[in-house]
C-alpha cells in the first residue's frame, strides 16, 4: 500500500538541506570501537560538572516552590534572572558596563545552544540569494544551515590573526561595485579559537573590522554575527575583548555564547546579545520553533552562575584544556616535526578545542583519500579539512588540511592518536612522495 502512494512533496528548503557531513564520521567512529577520535567535537567528558549539577539540582528541588517553577513552562526569551546573569557575565568578560554597550536584559535571548540563535538570525535575515560573508574555512554546521536557507556564501581568507581585513575590504568593495552590497546581510565570524582552525581574531583587528562593516552598511544594515562559543576556554591569560564590546550603540553586532563548552553541553543552553531591532523578530521565530528552551536547565544554570560554581568550573576547565592542548602540540612536534617541515604546519591555538594541521599540498586528507583510510587502519580519525570550506564557488577547496580536536579524548589518547596519525601520514606521504618522484622521472624522459 505504501508503495502505491506517491512521494511526499518536499519544500525547496528541504531539498537544499544536506545531512551534516560529520554524520558519516560519527557513524564510522561508532563502528570502530578502538578508534581514537580526534574528530568528534564533543567536550572533555571526565571534567563534566556532574557533582556540581547534582548539588545545584538538589538545592533547586529542596525548595518545592522553586522546583515546581522550574518544571513549568518558561518564557520564549528565557528566564529573566538568567538573562540578567549572562549579561553581567559578558560585561565582566569584556570589562564594560551594560550601559556602555547600550544593552539591557531585553536584548538577551536564551536558546537551545547558541546554534539555535545563529540559525534564527540567518532565518530572519536571509532570502535565497542573499549574501553571507564567512571565514575560509568556517564552521561547517553553520555553513550547512546557510546553504539550506539558500544563502550565497562569500568566503574571506584568514591568517594567524583571523580574517584578513584587506581581503574582507576587497570583497565588500567588489560587492559594492557589482551592485550586490544590499544583499550582504551577515558577516559571520567564529572569532575565538575558531572551529576548525583554532585561530583567534587578533585584538588589534577587532575595532577596525567593526568600522569596516559599518562603513559598508550604507545600503542595508549588515549584521556582524560574532560566534564566541569557545571564548571562555582560553589557555592564555590575555584574551581579546569581544567585537561587540567595541560597539557603543548596539546597532549591528550579535554576540552569541553558550553554556555548552564552558560548562556542559547536556543543558543545551546558549544565549546571545542582540541589537535592538533583532530581538523581537528572533523571538517571533523562536515562538514558532519551540516557544522557549528548557526552563529546568535554565533554573539550574542560574544557580551555577549565582553560586560561583560556574566561574570555578571554567577556571578548572581552562587548566584542563591547556594541558590537553599542550599534549597535542607536543605530540605533533614529536611525531611530525621532521615530516616535510617546510610544507607541514599546524596552528597553536590560545584555547578552544581544535588544532588545524596542514600537510604538503599534494597530500589529500579527504574522506575518500588513502590517508583517511590509512588513519582509520591505524585506529585514528580526524575531520577532513574539505568539510570546512564553503561552499563558495569562486574558490577551490584545498584538500591538504585536517581538523584535530584535543577536547574529547584524554591526554594519553591524544598522544597515541597523534602518533597513529603521524604513522599514517608518513606511510601515505612517503609512498606518494615516492610516486611523485617516479612520475616526475617518467615525465623527464
Choice from 68, 92, 394, 438 touching a second copy (CB under 8 A)? 68
> Which residue pairs from 307-311 have beta carbons closer than 8 angstroms and sit at least 24 positions apart in sequence?
307/56, 309/49, 309/52, 309/55, 309/56, 310/262, 310/263
Q: Is 100 in the site for a second copy (CB under 8 A)?
A: no
Nearest to 168 by CA among 93, 248, 243: 243
Which range in 115-123, 225-233, 374-382, 412-420 contacts a second copy by CB under 8 A? Answer: 115-123
**Given the rule CB under 8 A, which of 166-174, 196-204, 271-279, 305-313 is the region that contacts a second copy?**
271-279
At 131, give phi and psi (nearest 5°): -105, 135
Q: Minimum distance from CB of 218 to a second copy (Å)?
A: 7
The bridge status of strand 354-358 relative to strand 380-381 is unpaired
**Is residue 83 a contact point for a second copy (CB under 8 A)?**
no
Asked if 11 touches a second copy (CB under 8 A), the answer is: yes
Residue 88 touching a second copy (CB under 8 A): no
Compare residues 298 and 365 and give the one whose CB is closer to a second copy: 298
Provide, rounded to whole angstroms, the least separation between the CB of residue 334 and a second copy: 30
Residue with cell 508503495: 3
| Cα–Cα distance measured from residue 390 to residue 137, given in angstroms and rounded to the nearest whole number | 7
Residue 175's CB: how many other CB atoms inside 10 A? Answer: 19
Q: Is 69 in the site for a second copy (CB under 8 A)?
A: yes
Reported in sequence order, the residue ranges of 31-169 that DSSP labels E, i.e. its strands, are: 36-37, 108-111, 131-136, 152-159, 162-163
Region from 87-95, 162-170, 273-281, 350-358 binding a second copy, contact rule CB under 8 A: 273-281
* The one among 248, 315, 377, 439 contacting a second copy by CB under 8 A: 248
Dihedral angle sign, alpha carbons of residues 304, 305, 307, 311: positive
Residue 429 beta carbon to a second copy: minimum distance, rounded to whole angstroms: 33
d(CA 445, CA 441): 7
Instruction: For residue 251, state whether it binds a second copy (rule: CB under 8 A).
Output: yes
Indicate which single residue of 78, 85, 96, 115 sits in contact with a second copy (rule: CB under 8 A): 115
285 contributes a contact to a second copy by CB under 8 A: yes
Is residue 113 within 8 A of residue 268, CB to CB? The reply is yes
Among 31, 33, 73, 341, binds a second copy (CB under 8 A): 73
* Contacts to a second copy from residues 362-421, by CB under 8 A: none
Binding to a second copy (CB under 8 A) within 213-232 occurs at 214, 217-221, 223
19 binds a second copy per the rule CB under 8 A: yes
245 touches a second copy (CB under 8 A): no
Determine if 291 is a binding residue for a second copy (CB under 8 A). Answer: yes
* Beta pairing class for 354-358 and 345-346: antiparallel
- The pairing of beta strand 131-136 with beta strand 184-189: parallel
- Give the other-Cβ count within 10 Å of 442's Cβ: 8
- For residue 262, give the 3-state DSSP assignment: coil
Q: Using the rule CB under 8 A, is 54 a contact of a second copy?
A: yes
Q: Which residues in the 133-162 window bind a second copy by CB under 8 A?
A: 141, 144-145, 148
Neighbours of 177 (CB within 10 A): 9
- Smaller CB distance to a second copy: residue 267 or 387? 267
Applying CB under 8 A, does 20 fall inside the site for a second copy?
A: yes
**What is d(CA 415, CA 404) in angstroms, rounded to the nearest whole number?**
12
* Cβ distance to a second copy smaller for residue 76 or 400: 76
Site size for a second copy (CB under 8 A): 100
Amino acid at each position: 500500500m505504501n508503495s502505491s502512494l506517491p512521494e511526499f512533496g518536499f519544500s525547496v528548503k528541504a531539498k537544499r538541506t544536506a545531512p551534516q557531513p560529520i554524520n558519516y564520521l560519527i557513524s564510522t567512529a561508532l563502528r570502530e570501537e578502538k578508534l581514537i577520535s580526534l574528530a568528534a567535537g564533543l567536550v572533555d567528558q571526565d571534567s563534566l560538572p556532574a557533582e556540581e549539577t547534582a548539588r545545584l539540582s538538589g538545592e533547586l528541588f529542596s525548595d518545592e516552590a522553586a522546583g515546581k517553577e522550574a518544571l513549568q513552562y518558561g518564557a520564549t526569551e528565557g528566564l529573566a534572572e538568567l538573562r540578567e546573569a549572562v549579561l553581567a557575565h559578558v560585561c565582566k568578560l569584556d570589562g564594560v558596563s551594560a550601559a556602555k554597550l547600550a544593552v539591557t536584559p531585553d536584548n538577551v535571548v536564551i536558546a537551545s545552544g547558541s546554534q539555535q540563535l545563529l540559525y534564527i538570525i540567518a532565518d530572519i535575515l536571509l532570502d535565497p540569494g542573499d549574501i553571507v560573508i564567512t571565514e575560509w574555512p568556517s564552521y561547517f554546521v553553520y555553513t550547512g544551515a546557510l546553504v539550506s536557507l539558500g544563502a550565497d556564501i562569500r568566503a574571506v581568507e584568514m591568517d594567524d590573526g583571523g580574517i584578513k581585513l584587506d581581503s574582507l575590504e576587497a570583497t565588500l568593495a567588489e560587492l559594492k561595485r557589482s551592485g550586490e552590497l544590499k544583499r550582504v546581510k551577515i558577516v559571520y565570524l567564529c572569532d575565538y579559537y575558531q572551529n576548525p582552525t583554532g585561530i583567534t581574531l587578533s585584538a588589534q583587528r577587532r575595532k577596525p573590522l567593526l568600522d569596516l562593516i559599518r562603513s559598508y552598511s550604507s545600503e542595508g544594515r549588515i549584521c556582524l554575527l560574532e560566534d564566541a562559543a569557545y571564548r571562555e576556554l582560553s589557555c592564555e591569560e590575555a584574551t581579546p575583548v569581544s567585537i561587540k564590546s567595541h560597539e557603543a550603540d548596539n546597532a549591528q553586532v550579535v554576540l552569541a555564547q553558550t553554556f555548552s563548552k564552558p560548562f556542559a553541553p547536556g543543558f543545551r543552553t546558549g544565549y546571545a546579545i542582540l541589537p535592538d531591532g533583532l530581538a523581537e523578530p528572533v523571538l517571533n521565530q523562536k515562538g514558532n520553533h519551540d516557544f522557549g528552551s528548557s526552563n529546568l536547565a535554565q533554573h539550574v544554570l542560574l544557580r551555577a552562575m549565582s553560586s560561583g560554581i560556574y566561574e570555578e568550573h571554567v577556571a578548572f576547565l581552562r587548566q584542563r584544556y591547556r594541558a590537553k592542548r599542550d599534549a597535542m602540540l607536543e605530540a605533533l612536534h614529536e611525531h611530525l616535526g621532521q615530516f616535510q617541515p617546510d610544507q607541514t604546519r599546524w596552528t597553536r591555538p590560545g584555547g578552544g578545542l581544535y588544532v588545524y594541521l596542514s600537510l604538503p599540498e599534494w597530500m589529500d586528507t579527504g574522506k575518500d583519500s588513502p590517508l583517511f583510510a590509512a588513519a582509520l587502519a591505524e585506529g585514528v580519525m580526524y575531520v577532513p579539512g574539505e568539510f570546512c570550506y564553503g561552499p563558495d564557488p569562486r574558490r577551490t577547496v584545498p584538500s591538504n588540511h585536517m581538523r584535530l580536536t584535543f577536547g574529547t579524548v584524554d591526554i594519553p589518547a591524544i598522544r597515541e592518536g597523534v602518533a597513529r596519525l603521524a604513522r599514517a601520514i608518513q606511510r601515505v606521504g612517503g609512498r606518494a612522495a615516492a610516486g611523485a618522484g617516479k612520475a616526475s622521472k617518467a615525465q623527464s624522459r
